[in-house]
Amino acid sequence: MQPIPFIPSGERSFRYPLKRYLPPYYSGILTEWLNENGSENCDVLDPMGANPLYTLEAASAGHRVFQAQKNPLLRLMTEVLAKGHKEEEFQKAVHILLNQEWHGEKLEKHIQELYQTECRQCKAIIPAEGFIWKKELSEPSSVVFICPHCGESGIHAVNENDLARLSQIGNSAMYRSRALQRCLLEDTDIQKHVEYALTCYTPRALHVLVILFNTLDRLQISQDERSMIAAILSEVCDLASSLWHWPDRNFHPHQLSLPAVYFEKNIERAISQAIRTWTDFRETCDVTAFPTIPTRTHSLCIFDRKEIEDLFVDENASRGCHYFCVFPRPNQAFWTFSAVWSAWLLGKKTAEGMLNTLSRQRYGWYWFAQALCTTFDSIEPIMDNNSKIF
C-alpha cells in the first residue's frame, strides 16, 4: 500500500485574532513540509498572506519569509504577533487608553456603567455579560448576567433601568456619522457600503468604538504601544459587532447579515478577552517592509504584490525560493470589515486601498477565481525549475 501524502498537524490549537474570518491554522504542517522539501534555511514566499500564523511559523523555524500583504489588519496582526508581547504589556498599553478622561470621568468607568444591570435577586448593580436583541426590534429584549454577590445567573427580561442606561449614549446619530466619515474617500462613492457595515453594530457598541478610536488618535505614545492598542481594538471591533448568534454557536460570518436573534457583548469584557487572544500564539521573528530586505534567517519581509519583481531583482533577495499558498475564504463580511476597521484604527490613508474595494459587494466565485489567477500570475515570472509550491 502506498503511503498517504498527508502531513498531520500538531495537537495544540491556538487562539488568535480574527480567527473566525481566516482560513484555519494547522500548526506544524508548513514546518514539516519545508523540512522535507526545502533546503536548510531556504527562502519562503507566501503570495496570498491569508493567515499570518503560517508565515510566522516558517520564519520562526529558521527561514527568511516574504509575505505579500495588502490588508492593513493582517499586516498589523503579523507585525504585532511577531514581537511576542506578553499579556502584561498589552494590559499596560490598554490601561493608558482606558485611563483617559471622557466627559469628566475615566473612559473605563464610562464603559463599565453602560453595561451594568441590576441583579434580579439581590438588587446589586453588577456587570452584564451582554444583551440579547431580536433583529426587528430597536432595543434589547433580555440581559444575561452572573451575579458575583448572590450567585444568581441566567437570562432575564430587560427592565426600565437597563433601557435608561442604554439612553445614556445620547445622540447615537452623531457617533454613527463620525464612524461613517472616518471611512469616506473623495471621488469614491462608498457611503452606502459603509452604512451597511455600520448596521452590524448596536447604537451602544458603536458609541463605545467611536470613543475608543477617537481617544487612540489623541494619545501621545510610542509606536509599539499604539500598535498594541490598535491590535486589541481590531479584535474588539469584531467582538462588539452584532454578528454573534444567540444561543451561541460556532459561526463564521461570510455576509453582513444580522442573525434573527443576536448577542451584544459587554465591551469591557471583550477588551480582556481580546488581550488573551493576542498572547496565545508565540512565534517571534524580525519583521521588515520592502524595500528593506532582511539579510538573515528567522525573519519576515512584508511587501505589496505589485512589488514582487522588484523584490527579486534586488541582489539581497534569493530566486531559490519555495512557495506556500493558504487560500483565503471568499468572505464579504471580513473584506468589508477590514476596510472599515482599518480606517477607524489606522487612519483613512492606511486603509485607502481596502476602502476603494468597498464598491464591490458581489464577491462571487468568478471574481474570487480571477483574484487567485492574478496572484499566481504575479509569481510566475520569478519561479524557476527548482521552485516548489505547497
Q: 288-306 pLDDT, tens per residue?
A: 999 898 888 899 999 988 7
Q: Are 243 and 201 within 8 A, CB to CB?
A: no
Q: Specify the amino acid at residue 169.
A: I
**Grid coordinates of 201:** 453594530
pLDDT in tens, the chain (390 residues): 456 567 878 777 889 999 999 999 999 999 999 988 877 778 899 999 999 999 999 999 999 999 999 999 999 999 999 999 999 999 999 999 999 999 999 999 999 999 999 999 999 999 999 999 999 899 999 999 999 999 999 999 999 999 999 998 989 999 999 999 999 998 788 999 999 999 999 999 999 999 999 999 999 999 999 999 999 999 999 999 999 999 999 999 999 999 999 999 999 999 999 999 999 999 999 999 998 988 888 999 999 887 777 777 654 555 568 889 998 888 889 999 999 999 999 999 999 999 998 876 666 777 778 888 888 888 887 777 778 888
Cell 492593513 sits on residue: 72
Q: What is the model's pLDDT at position 388?
A: 85
Cα 170 to Cα 185: distance, rounded to the nearest angstrom: 27
Q: What is the DSSP string of 59-97?
A: HHTT-EEEEE---HHHHHHHHHHHHT--HHHHHHHHHHH
Q: 372-389 pLDDT, tens per residue?
A: 888 888 888 777 777 888
Torsional class of 121: left (φ above 0), alpha (ψ -120 to 50), beta (otherwise): alpha
Q: What is the model's pLDDT at position 315?
A: 44
Q: What is the dihedral of CA 223, 226, 227, 232, to 10 degrees?
A: 160
The helix/strand/coil state of 7 is coil
Q: What is the model's pLDDT at position 365?
A: 75
| Long-range pairs of 104-112 with CB within 8 A, sequence gap ≥ 24 | 107/211, 107/212, 107/215, 108/268, 110/211, 111/208, 111/267, 111/268, 112/268
Q: Label residue 247 exposed, middle or buried (CB < 10 Å: 0-12, 13-18, 19+).
A: exposed
Q: Are 154 and 120 within 8 A, CB to CB?
A: no
Q: What is the DSSP string of 298-327?
A: SEEEEE-GGGHHHHHHSTTS-S-EEE---P
Cell 519569509 sits on residue: 65
Cell 519583481 sits on residue: 309
Q: What is the model's pLDDT at position 9?
A: 81
**Grid coordinates of 307:** 512589488
Q: What is the DSSP string of 249-305?
A: ------SS---SEEEEE-HHHHHHHHHHHTSS-----EEEETTS---SSSEEEEE-G
Q: What is the model's pLDDT at position 363?
A: 66
Cβ contacts of 367 within 8 Å, gap of 6 or more: 360
Q: Return the closest-CA partner of residue 326 out of 44, 54, 108.
A: 54
Q: What is the model's pLDDT at position 1?
A: 47
